Structure 1
């Protein structure tokens, strides 16, 4: 257990940010990290897998490491404020109780669904107090023992989030994603190893490619090509972790050209596929 405490602030990172010029952020995942995102102000549509959440003050988002997500800023000249926490799930597992799973809200739901928890005003007040305490314990001038208080407050936060998740309406779903795009996302996920050119996709959803591209950009803030590329890279990483050869991974993830796969993977991940696989085996 003492290894957990060796560098606690690296295992649970806390950031409260305010900006009037949010930098564009592409599709991403957090390998071996879970994310808690609390929205305060701005005009943001948040894409997670096949859903788009139109955020309002006090919305809480939860994402585990395999869920693809990105914010889509509707206005670049508006105050944008949020709180973001990333943490290693292995940390929370040490504090589970037989009757209470601290990671239940991340695991006990369908992939890419029920990521948003819409909090009441009293709940917003309570979670803001927890964030304030975490921020205070992280200050450079904090007294000895603040790392322990930081950890205990974080565990309290996970209890709070799981209770809110369990009590929310399970039927609540975002309504800003057109059915055509939902069908497109499903087709892409199920056919990553197939031809996903615009020639094919416009036939799948019975929509002109120009309009389809504009609709996709409007709701996700990105392009269809970028989305497909990231999904294929994510699939390749999964296959490599599971022991597939680099050659098989190239084909199964939908990269028809081996050299292009090596080059694209290295650019996206920072390591060539074989080196990435070797690194994962050592973890």
Structure 2
């Protein structure tokens, strides 16, 4: 539990850092604004077309009575919107960090300069950061679906669906969001997604302590525009805490597990 509360405090420290450096807050908010507009447009379109979409995914109910057909399709519509909100939250962080890769690298550099600086910085071009952000973000979204879809379905189970499932869903979302938030500091050290997961798995409580308040606050409409840069700075602090004093394992030193820097 100590690691969990440390992660929550690092989220709070991210807010304090950005309040002292409002230019960094503005810089980090710009990609979040663009992503918000894209995902908000998609969500509005889904809600507008939800009747047709619910009918399309429940063709087996076409011959049922009007009452049962309506019940099944209302439940399907609620499930689709709920799943879209969860997936949108995870996709939001992936898209924001991919689009804002150069911006967030600059923020990470300034934040870590105030600490003791990261060892062995890898000089990556902006297009490389964009590609890594899109690739790893997509992998994390697909992996998260393996957990979130069954949990969303389980949410319709009486009692369990209203008590245990929301807690598990919040923890899963927090974990995958934390993996996104620490991406840039790991990239700057030449470390890929596999090494990121391995490092955070050893400090899972720290990661969830960062991701949980960030994911919950992102559920407030438009709050993600401000929450994302705060959570990202918290992610820089979590990555720094996780990696400082951590000797690289032989596996981490294998060329196949590292990001190759561009040729000088």
Q: TM-score, normalised by structure 1?
A: 0.29
Q: Tell me the TM-score normalised to structure 2 length.
A: 0.30
Per residue, is there more strand in 1 or in 2? 1
Relative contact order higher in (CA < 8 Å, ≥ 6 apart): 2
- Normalized per residue, the structure richer in helix is 2
